[in-house]
Structure 1
Amino acid sequence: MSLKLPITMPKVYGYKHHALPLSVITQEEQGVNWMLNNYLQLYTRYGWMQDSHWLEFYLTHNILDLPHNPFLHVQKIKLDLIKDMDLSVLFRNALENETYIYAWYDPKFFESNNPGLSINNFLVYGFDEDRKKFNILDYDYNKSHQLSQMEIGFEEMNQSINNLAFPEDWSTHLYFISLKKRIAYTFDYVLASQLLQDYINAEKTVNRLRMNVDRSIADDAVFGIKVYDSLLACLEMQLENDKHLSLLPFQILYEHKQCILLLVRFLNRHYQINEELSLEIMNTTLAFRNMIMKYFLTQDNKIIRNIMSKIPRLIEIETNNIESILHAIQNESTISLSRL
């Protein structure tokens, strides 16, 4: 017997804690709309000298920890409760009941182990009982380094999860997730307006929602358009040979502009917003990402200086673009607010 639950490749894929749940949620048009409604704010999760994952989308919670998830039923099980179980049986039963598994694993137990990898995460979405293989969504760390649909053996799965050694502050859970049968989600114009205003004004969205947010966000975290200051500082330091540069923030920046473009296309069902500006901004950040990849090969500082010279103009164009989006949805937001 074999079985595969449906998944889709999400537009936000730089971080797997976004990409894996979104691969389930964004199968539905309403799920795509939810993503466009929520992935509009950026912030510095860490200082850029501390961690390469410093640039991040701002959500009040990780998707799987949302208190009222409009799309997913989420069940968490502590790993200690199922330690040394045959997870292949548990996972097959879950999949047969239309339930995906989001799990942490230790890649050193994989046959195709990449020695540079530490504890990681994947989504299990299918299995082939005859071949004793699970279907997983994960980065292909050995070849393409892209989010890919791959296979892993039953025994590899058991070993890689049952032998995990988590740091003390990590959440040691398996997540079992399934799509809700009845999904009712309406695009929230007020939320979109608030997040876009926070973005161009560099407002700390965390302060808007203090009752519901993660207190671990640093007081000096930078939000919105000001993240470009951190990007410029990081690039400037790279010119001084202080090797803090990573492709990740450029990938996240590109994904954010992609979300803005998709938002404009969604809004243009009812409005007339200039799509060309959003497309230009997205293509500029895509070019930045590709230039950084070239820099890693050549170590040519002219590439860094070229990016830095283009950022002030990008900020100007992006501010004007978001102001035009806000103007276009202002009437809809006002109507929605009057109903609260």
Structure 2
Amino acid sequence: MSIQLPLGDSPINGYQHHAFPLLISSLHPDFFQWFNCNYIQIYCNKDIGSGLSFNFYDFPSLKSKSPFLGEMYIPKSLIERYVNPIKFLIDSLENNHYIVTFVDEFYIPERVAYQKYHYIHDILIYGYDNTRKIFNVAGYNNKRVLGTSEVEFLNFEKAFYSTLATGDLAKWADGMHLLQLKPENSYNFDLEIFIEFIEDYLSSSDTSYRLRMYENNNNKFIYGMDTYNSIIKYLMHIEDEIDIRFFHIFYEHKKCMFSRIRFLIDELGIHFNPLILEEYFDIERNALISRNLSLKYEIIRQEQVISKIIQIIREIKCKEDHALNLLVNDLKNT
């Protein structure tokens, strides 16, 4: 017997913890109604002495990452006491559950770490073939691209058990998330919350403040437009290696923002100053250039490349501030 649960297209691939739930959620017909009200805010750490942690803000305290997903969390160590994990994973897939868990990529083919070094990382399991004894999995491959591949049961079992981790990763490595698409749920685009999140971004407001009824606010991060200053500060203090991941997230944010504006026009029939769309076209293009320059710097390590990136980032900041203020003003007067 074999099963392959369907996967959609994720608008965000910079980090797997975004991509995996979005790959499933995007199968829902209301996906873009919901997505375009979310993944607007950006945040980063205040102290960049140990590097810049730059990411989409997605209400991390909330259990389910979208209204279209049912989610169960089960510790791997608990499963191991009662049943062989391979059987549990197969049974879960047969019940239309995708599985996100952590494995040692030393045992996962088509990964950078495969047969080279031990590396604990998350993985999405979306199918299996009992005749061939393989799982269908998704994740970043050895070409640094989010893709699908196969892994034999035997190798997967080794990867599953070999997940001793330290530090912050230790609290996640024992995790197993079972995700199931909920086609019966629905979501309609909410213009009011869309405007509120744009205003949060423009004013660099702490969006986690909205969850203070759920947990205390600790104000550890920088939000929205203020993250530009952190990016520039990070770039001005680079001595050797550059972290290209956040440049990709930066680019994906601008790409998603441009797509949102197209959504407002094409799907909702909202009309506003055409300059907004023109400016965001330039913003997305320049964000891609900055991402590509970060890849170039990774190869040639020349300071003038960093200077060029800083110049582009400053230009994008000015254009985005102008475009979003125009957008909010037009939407409020719609």
Flag whether TM exceeds 0.5 (same fold).
yes
Q: Deviations over 1:35-69 (max 9, x none)?
A: 221100001146333245x0011122267x23x95
Unpaired runs of at least 5, structure 2:
none
The answer to whether the Cα contact below 8 Å between 1:61 and 1:213 also exists between their aligned partners in 2 is no
Among residues 98, 105, 108, which one is paired with 2:106 in the alignment? 108
CA distance in structure 2 between the aligned counterparts of 1:213 and 1:254, rounded to whole angstroms: 31
Q: Name the % identity.
A: 25
CA distance in structure 2 between the aligned counterparts of 1:320 and 1:283, rounded to whole angstroms: 17
CA distance in structure 1 between the aligned counterparts of 2:7 and 2:320, rounded to whole angstroms: 32
* 1:247 corresponds to: 244
- With over 3 angstroms needed to count, the CA separation of the structure-2 counterparts of 1:180 and 1:300, relative to structure 1, is same
Q: State the shift of 1:245 in Å.
A: 2.2
Specify the code of the residue in structure 2 equivalent to 1:254.
Answer: Y
Superposition RMSD on alpha carbons, in Å?
A: 2.2
Q: State the shift of 1:148 in Å.
A: 0.6
Q: State the shift of 1:271 in Å.
A: 1.3
* Mapping for residues 208-219 of structure 1, pairs under 5 Å: 208-212=210-214, 215=217, 218=220
* Mapping for residues 1-340 of structure 1, pairs under 5 Å: 1-45=1-45, 47-51=47-51, 54-61=53-60, 65-66=63-64, 69-83=66-80, 85-110=83-108, 113=114, 115-116=116-117, 118-140=119-141, 142=142, 144-167=143-166, 170-171=171-172, 172-212=174-214, 215=217, 218=220, 221-238=221-238, 241=239, 243=240, 245-268=242-265, 269-273=268-272, 274=274, 275-331=277-333
Specify the code of the residue in structure 2 equivalent to 1:174.
Answer: M
SS in 1 for 2:313: helix
Q: State the shift of 1:217 in Å.
A: 5.5
TM-score (norm 2): 0.89
Q: State the shift of 1:132 in Å.
A: 0.8
- With over 3 angstroms needed to count, the CA separation of the structure-2 counterparts of 1:308 and 1:116, relative to structure 1, is farther
Between 40-49 and 257-266, the greater mean CA deviation after superposition: 40-49
Deviation beyond 4 Å, 4+ runs, structure 1: 213-217
Q: State the shift of 1:186 in Å.
A: 1.3
Q: State the shift of 1:29 in Å.
A: 3.7
Q: Deviations over 1:240-281 (max 9, x none)?
A: x2x352101111111111111111011113212432221211
The answer to whether the Cα contact below 8 Å between 1:234 and 1:244 also exists between their aligned partners in 2 is no
Between 162-171 and 196-205, the greater mean CA deviation after superposition: 162-171
SS in 1 for 2:149: strand
CA distance in structure 1 between the aligned counterparts of 2:312 and 2:245, rounded to whole angstroms: 19
Q: Give the aligned length.
A: 322
CA distance in structure 2 between the aligned counterparts of 1:111 and 1:271, rounded to whole angstroms: 47
Unpaired runs of at least 5, structure 1:
333-340
Q: State the shift of 1:328 in Å.
A: 3.2
CA distance in structure 2 between the aligned counterparts of 1:111 and 1:135, rounded to whole angstroms: 12
CA distance in structure 2 between the aligned counterparts of 1:74 and 1:61, rounded to whole angstroms: 14
SS in 2 for 1:83: helix
TM-score (norm 1): 0.88
SS in 1 for 2:208: helix
The answer to whether the Cα contact below 8 Å between 1:10 and 1:22 also exists between their aligned partners in 2 is yes
Q: State the shift of 1:130 in Å.
A: 1.2
SS in 1 for 2:30: helix
Q: State the shift of 1:324 in Å.
A: 2.2
* 1:337 corresponds to: none
Specify the code of the residue in structure 1 equivalent to 2:85.
Answer: L
SS in 2 for 1:174: strand
Q: State the shift of 1:215 in Å.
A: 4.9
CA distance in structure 1 between the aligned counterparts of 2:120 and 2:177, rounded to whole angstroms: 16
